[in-house]
Amino acid sequence: MKKNILGKTGIEVTELCFGALPMGPLQKNMDLESSTKVVAHALQKGINFVDTAQMYKTYDPIREAIKLTEINPVISTKSTASSYDEMERAIDEALSALDRNYIDIFFMHAARVNEDVFEVRKEALKCLLDYKSKGYIKAVGISTHNVKVVELASQRDDMDVIFPILNYKGIGILGGSVEDMKKAIEKASEAGKGILIMKALGGGLLLNDYKKAMDFVRNIKGYHSIAVGMVSIEEVDFNVNYFNGIYEENKMPSLEGNQKRFIVVESLCKGCRTCLDACPNLAMEYNEAIKKARINVEKCLTCGYCTASCPEFAIRAI
């Protein structure tokens, strides 16, 4: 599989990155044994890059897959922490749970955050940079849906890697259009930033247009890797084959079979609106008539962030 160096970091990664979000409790909620097997299979098939996050709660299967295969991949993780202490705890958690003495890439997890993110989270960023100087983190970056944040990050010396959203329909992009995001990514890459793309398949909404969606992202300038969420050995094989130049359309149903959607259980919803702030794509809406939240399925990225935010556990994946 093709490999690229992430900007000026010196970190070499496969073009296909294993996205660990879908197998965790925010989405499919796979058991440890099953999820470990999928990650291990991905490593054995040649994927050397795994993306996770504190919120995803998928450190355990990644750790166990590394033990099982004795293959040590590049790992990126992220945290929504805004203070120094919170970020320090997030770093310690990642190091301990992954059983590693360093993290390759640590992102500020800022999907929906605006251009003031670097001011609002300056203490969290300071923590990341301190831990980088001590050797516990190799590269620091930001994950975002916002075009303007990508533009700002590309101009900052403290940002090594940028993790933007991009797909041909513009699903989830904030602060600009698809073309705006493409230009921002190209400029960031020219500035020496590593570029990892998320949501090329629109959180599963573009699975029926798999090849078109993937070809679109792979034809832009400047990216180094594309994170794709996977929950089965069949999905791993399909994606690895595609990135190795083999497209098997007849095997697409194995991917579609794992599509999911989220619902709000109205009897449990207390109308607190917490989920509205958590949704990175403004897919959560509020029905004033009944004082309940609802999900706009046409906007939903199926990321599951709303489920983690709900204090009543009223949002479920089905």
Give residue-wise pLDDT tens across range 54-95.
999 999 999 999 999 999 999 999 999 999 999 999 999 999
* 298 pLDDT tier (thresholds 50, 70, 90): confident
Average pLDDT rounded to a whole number, residues 263-282: 85
* 253 pLDDT tier (thresholds 50, 70, 90): very low
Percent of the residues in the chain that have a pLDDT greater than 70, as a whole number: 97
Tens digit of each residue's pLDDT (9 = 90 or more) over 90-125: 999 999 999 999 999 999 999 878 999 999 999 999
Q: Exposed/middle/buried for 88, CB within 10 Å: 0-12, 13-18, 19+?
A: middle
Using CA atoms in the order 259, 263, 268, 269, what is the torsion angle rounded to 10 degrees? Answer: 130
DSSP-H helix ranges across the chain:
32-44, 59-69, 84-98, 117-120, 122-133, 147-154, 178-190, 210-218, 233-243, 253-256, 274-278, 305-309
Q: Where are the domains of the chain?
A: 3-256, 262-317
Kindly report which listed range (19-28, 204-213, 276-285) carries the lowest average pLDDT score: 276-285
Find out whether 275 and 292 touch, Cβ atoms under 8 Å: no
Q: Determine the 3-state secondary structure of 154 from DSSP.
A: helix
* 318 pLDDT tier (thresholds 50, 70, 90): low
Report the distance separating Cα 12 and Cα 8, nearest Å: 10
**Mean of the per-residue pLDDT values of the chain:** 92
Tens digit of each residue's pLDDT (9 = 90 or more) over 117-176: 999 999 999 999 999 999 999 999 999 999 999 999 999 999 999 999 999 999 999 999
Assigned CATH topology for domain 262-317? Alpha-Beta Plaits (3.30.70)
Average pLDDT rounded to a whole number, residues 19-27: 93
* 311 pLDDT tier (thresholds 50, 70, 90): confident
Looking at residue 186, its pLDDT comes to: 97
Question: Which CATH number is associated with domain 3-256?
Answer: 3.20.20.100
Find out whether 127 and 107 touch, Cβ atoms under 8 Å: no
